[in-house]
Structure 1
Amino acid sequence: MTGDNIDPAAANAPLADNEVARGFTAQRDWQTYLILALAVGAALWGLIGPVGSGIGLWGFGFAITGMFWSFWVCVVAVLLGGLFVFLRKRAGKARRPLLWLGIAIALFYAGWLANMAGKAEPRIHDISTDLADPPAFQALPLRADNLDNVPGAEDEDMRGLNPQQRWTKIHQEAYSDIRTVRIAQPVGEVMAKAQRLAKARGWEIASFQPEQGRMEATETSTLFRFKDDIVLRVRPTDDGKESIIDMRSVSRVGQSDLGVNAKRVRSFLADLAGTVTTAE
């Protein structure tokens, strides 16, 4: 066979096909890497913000702003990724696993943030078993803006109430189960057990006064390093055989605590008493 018998079109066909394939691969990679960059970048942005705030690198507001915008970046990544998948499927092209991975990361992170936002109500961060006389902090300072942003000032059923009264009303409606409890043990035994439980939970005990029935401590969250302050008040009954217990847990930053403080109070009192008896 001589060169004169070679069909130029046939000779160039594989080259043309390869060029198309290479062009599509480049486009495909551009789409994939864009979605991955958006998803991973947004997740890192949203996670690093609170961590930096927790260790004091920047303010809490900066962290919340970052989480807000990272959510919408993930929404864009999901929508754009879905469009790319649709166009590829319509063109009959092979699936791109990394593209699906980027979409999955964006979906997971956005869903996690949405779940957190769903726990933001009620927007209070100070939880106490005694609303009329909350246990007071002595060793630890109560945040200066504790009642500055209590919601409901414009609500019809709370109009005219001061911040303390609004906080009480919201607390009663949201956490009616969190109340003063009574334990059939003397104050000394209760305080000793409370100290052991606090240490087991990794709390930093700021003050322990068993003779006064008082303990103050701080719990730091594992991931974001947020700090919540706790005060326990234990008073004897008239005969001294039982203890009346109140507990308060307050977040140092943020308007809402995502229900963390209420969960802490319930859990600690349940472990302290075994079976909690509500004091009337």
Structure 2
Amino acid sequence: MDNQPASEPVTDTPAVAGKLGSLRRDPKGWIVLILAIGAVIAFFGSAFGSGIGLWGWQAGLSALPWTALAALIALVIGIIGIILDRRKSRKTRWPFLGLGLIISLGFIGYIASYMMTARSLPAIHDITTDLADPPAFSALKIRADNWDNIPGADDSDMQGMNPRQRWATLHQDAYSDVRSVRIDQPVADVIEKAKRLAEDRGWEIVNVDAAAGHLEATATISLFRFKDDVVIRARAAENGNASIIDMRSVSRVGVHDLGANAKRVRQFLSDLSGTTTVAS
């Protein structure tokens, strides 16, 4: 039987060969792009995993410094590559490099915006319109350590203050505009409207008593699916023809809420009242 020549091994297909050729021609562009996309996918993937319960929020947030570092490395590699190209009079290959730099800069800017917010606001997570008498939860329970870890214990201006007093001081300094509002409607009507607004926002209504002027709900935010508990209190004014509304929003995770609770209170009360009028 005649010996047939052995078949040649299959070489790269045109598509694969094209990708390999592109990689050889522009390795730094590929490296920058892969690092940038990988950082974004890793961060949002870890956040999404936390949100659906695959792991805790602490594990999800632990990816933040590493993904930020990866994006920063991508940016540095890209910048160094451009500088070397200029010094050696080489033409910079922009398609992959440029896209990678844009993604890296966008992601770093996204992270930096949160870091700047964290530095500009106090590390508190319990926001209310009434510091002297915050609306109380009944169905929902505040964490036992809600008043722990309030910053300022070593601050000379707050020396001798207990955690709640420090919280009130920091709250007043950062969120002086978060105050009670007056609405020219009876208490029950205000609470019913508040219930509709909460439902429109997708909040879980936990407890509502229109006659007593009380509503509790839970808001879920971000990919991490953080839970913030809300209580709204309406008190009669002017013989029942008007109401004074107070609101409180507390993050279950605690520590620093990055201003999320204050933003929620401002927006909700503005929508509820149709104005930003503050109660006198």
Match in the other structure for 1:54 = 51
1:62 Cα offset (Å)? 2.2
Mapped contact 2:228–2:250 kept (Cα < 8 A): yes
For structure 1, the 5+ residue unaligned runs are 1-22
Match in the other structure for 1:99 = 97
| Secondary structure in structure 1 of the residue aligned to 2:208 | strand
Mapped contact 1:45–1:70 kept (Cα < 8 A): yes
1:121-270 superposed matches below 5 A: 121-237=121-237, 239-270=239-270
| Secondary structure in structure 1 of the residue aligned to 2:71 | helix
Match in the other structure for 2:109 = 111
Task: Summarize the Cα distance change of 1:158–1:53 in structure 2 as closer, same or farther, 3 Å threshold.
Answer: farther
1:27 Cα offset (Å)? 4.3
Q: Structure 1 segments of 4 or more deviating over 6 A?
A: none
TM-score (norm 2): 0.86
1:161 Cα offset (Å)? 1.5
Q: Provide the C-alpha distance between the structure 2 equivalents of 1:254 and 1:52, rounded to a whole number of angstroms.
A: 20
Cα deviation code 1:203-252 (max 9, x no counterpart): 11111111211111111125332221111011112511111111001112
Q: Provide the C-alpha distance between the structure 2 equivalents of 1:133 and 1:58, rounded to a whole number of angstroms.
A: 37
| Secondary structure in structure 2 of the residue aligned to 1:157 | helix
1:97 Cα offset (Å)? 0.9
| Secondary structure in structure 2 of the residue aligned to 1:278 | coil
Q: Provide the C-alpha distance between the structure 2 equivalents of 1:35 and 1:177, rounded to a whole number of angstroms.
A: 45
Q: Provide the C-alpha distance between the structure 2 equivalents of 1:42 and 1:50, rounded to a whole number of angstroms.
A: 12
Cα deviation code 1:88-121 (max 9, x no counterpart): 3334224231111111111100110000111112
Task: Summarize the Cα distance change of 1:28–1:124 in structure 2 as closer, same or farther, 3 Å threshold.
Answer: farther
TM-score (norm 1): 0.86
Q: Provide the C-alpha distance between the structure 2 equivalents of 1:234 and 1:146, rounded to a whole number of angstroms.
A: 24
Match in the other structure for 2:39 = 42
Q: Provide the C-alpha distance between the structure 2 equivalents of 1:113 and 1:185, rounded to a whole number of angstroms.
A: 43
Q: Provide the C-alpha distance between the structure 2 equivalents of 1:98 and 1:104, rounded to a whole number of angstroms.
A: 10
Task: Summarize the Cα distance change of 1:166–1:28 in structure 2 as closer, same or farther, 3 Å threshold.
Answer: farther
CA RMSD across the alignment: 2.0
| Secondary structure in structure 2 of the residue aligned to 1:130 | coil
Q: Provide the C-alpha distance between the structure 2 equivalents of 1:179 and 1:94, rounded to a whole number of angstroms.
A: 56
Q: Percent identity?
A: 52
1:173 Cα offset (Å)? 0.2
Q: Provide the C-alpha distance between the structure 2 equivalents of 1:72 and 1:161, rounded to a whole number of angstroms.
A: 39
Cα deviation code 1:32-78 (max 9, x no counterpart): 22212211111122222232223332222222221122112211110
- Higher-Rg structure is 1
Q: Provide the C-alpha distance between the structure 1 equivalents of 2:25 and 2:85, rounded to a whole number of angstroms.
A: 9
| Secondary structure in structure 1 of the residue aligned to 2:207 | strand
Q: Provide the C-alpha distance between the structure 2 equivalents of 1:206 and 1:82, rounded to a whole number of angstroms.
A: 53
Mapped contact 2:23–2:30 kept (Cα < 8 A): no
Q: Provide the C-alpha distance between the structure 2 equivalents of 1:210 and 1:107, rounded to a whole number of angstroms.
A: 49
